[in-house]
A and B are shown apart, each in its own frame.
Chain A
Amino acid sequence: MSTCTTVFASYAAFIPDFPAFCAALQTPRSCCLRVNTLRTTPEVVRALLVSQGYSVTPSPIADELLLVPNLMHPGRLREAILGYYHPQAFTSALVSRIVAPQPGELVCDLCAAPGSKTSHMAQLMDNQGVIVANEPVHPRLAMLEYNLKHLGISNVVTTRYSGQNFPLRCKFMRVLVDAPCSGEGNYRCDMQGRVQHVRHATSAPDDLPRLQKQLLIRGFDILAPGGSLIYATCTYNPAENEAVVQGLLEQRPATLQPITLPVPHSPGLLQWKEYTYDARMQHCWRLYPHQTDSVGFFVASIRA
Chain B
Amino acid sequence: MRFGIPLITFDGFCLLLRHKTYSLLSATSHIGRLTGLQVNSVGLPVLRSIRHHLKPTTAALQYFGTEARRHVLDLSEIQVVTLLRDREQLLHLDIQPGYVILRHAGHILGCGLYTPGRLRSQLPRHPAVSF
Q: Could you tell me if A158 and B40 are in contact, using CB atoms closer than 8 angstroms?
A: yes
Within 8 A of B (CB), among A148-180: 148-150, 152-161, 167, 169-171
B98 to chain A, nearest CB (A): 22
Q: Could you tell me if A132 and B37 are in contact, using CB atoms closer than 8 angstroms?
A: yes
Contacts A76-B129, A77-B130, A167-B36 hold; do A82 and B107 have CB atoms under 8 A apart? yes
B41 contacts partner chain A, Cβ-Cβ < 8 Å: yes
Q: Could you tell me if B62 and A83 are in contact, using CB atoms closer than 8 angstroms?
A: yes
B24 contacts partner chain A, Cβ-Cβ < 8 Å: yes
B30 to chain A, nearest CB (A): 4
B68 to chain A, nearest CB (A): 15
Which chain B residues lie closer than 8 Å to A39 at the CB level? 62-63
Report the nearest A residue to B84, measured CB to CB: A81
A153 to B44, CA, bound (A): 6
Q: Could you tell me if A157 and B109 are in contact, using CB atoms closer than 8 angstroms?
A: no
A160 to B63, CA, bound (A): 26
In this complex, the interface size class of chain A, counting residues with CB under 8 Å from chain B, is 35 or more
Q: Could you tell me if A132 and B38 are in contact, using CB atoms closer than 8 angstroms?
A: no
Report the nearest A residue to B128, measured CB to CB: A76
In this complex, the interface size class of chain B, counting residues with CB under 8 Å from chain A, is 20 to 34
B114 to chain A, nearest CB (A): 21
A194 contacts partner chain B, Cβ-Cβ < 8 Å: no
Mark contacts of B27-59 with chain A using CB atoms, 8 A cut-off: 1 yes-contact digit, 0 otherwise.
Answer: 010110110111111111100000000000101
A211 contacts partner chain B, Cβ-Cβ < 8 Å: no
A132 to B39, CA, bound (A): 9
Contacts A76-B128, A77-B129, A78-B129 hold; do A104 and B44 have CB atoms under 8 A apart? no
Report the nearest A residue to B42, measured CB to CB: A157
A274 to chain B, nearest CB (A): 42
Q: Could you tell me if A159 and B43 are in contact, using CB atoms closer than 8 angstroms?
A: no
A270 to chain B, nearest CB (A): 39
Mark contacts of A113-156 with chain B using CB atoms, 8 A cut-off: 1 yes-contact digit, 0 otherwise.
Answer: 00000000000000111101000000001000100111011111
Which chain A residues lie closer than 8 Å to B37 at the CB level? 132, 157, 159, 167, 170
Within 8 A of A (CB), among B85-107: 107
Q: Could you tell me if A82 and B109 are in contact, using CB atoms closer than 8 angstroms?
A: yes
A78 to B81, CA, bound (A): 11
A106 contacts partner chain B, Cβ-Cβ < 8 Å: yes
A80 contacts which of B13, B41, B129 (Cβ < 8 Å)? B129
Report the nearest B residue to A76, measured CB to CB: B128
A273 contacts partner chain B, Cβ-Cβ < 8 Å: no
B19 contacts partner chain A, Cβ-Cβ < 8 Å: no
Q: Could you tell me if B38 and A160 are in contact, using CB atoms closer than 8 angstroms?
A: yes
B72 contacts partner chain A, Cβ-Cβ < 8 Å: no
Which chain B residues lie closer than 8 Å to A129 at the CB level? 26, 28, 30
B36 contacts which of A127, A155, A169 (Cβ < 8 Å)? A169
Which chain A residues lie closer than 8 Å to B38 at the CB level? 159-161
Q: Could you tell me if A81 and B25 are in contact, using CB atoms closer than 8 angstroms?
A: no
A172 to chain B, nearest CB (A): 9
Which chain A residues lie closer than 8 Å to B31 at the CB level? 130
A104 to B44, CA, bound (A): 17
Which chain A residues lie closer than 8 Å to B129 at the CB level? 76-78, 80-81
Q: Which residues does A use to contact B, with CB under 8 Å?
A: 38-39, 73, 75-78, 80-83, 104, 106, 127-130, 132, 141, 145, 148-150, 152-161, 167, 169-171
12 residue pairs from A and B, CB less than 8 Å apart: A81-B126, A82-B108, A128-B28, A129-B30, A130-B30, A149-B59, A152-B63, A154-B43, A155-B26, A158-B41, A161-B38, A167-B37
- A75-B128, A78-B129, A130-B30 given; name 17 further pairs at CB < 8 Å: A80-B126, A80-B129, A106-B33, A127-B26, A130-B26, A148-B44, A149-B44, A149-B45, A154-B63, A157-B37, A157-B39, A157-B42, A158-B40, A159-B38, A160-B40, A167-B36, A169-B36
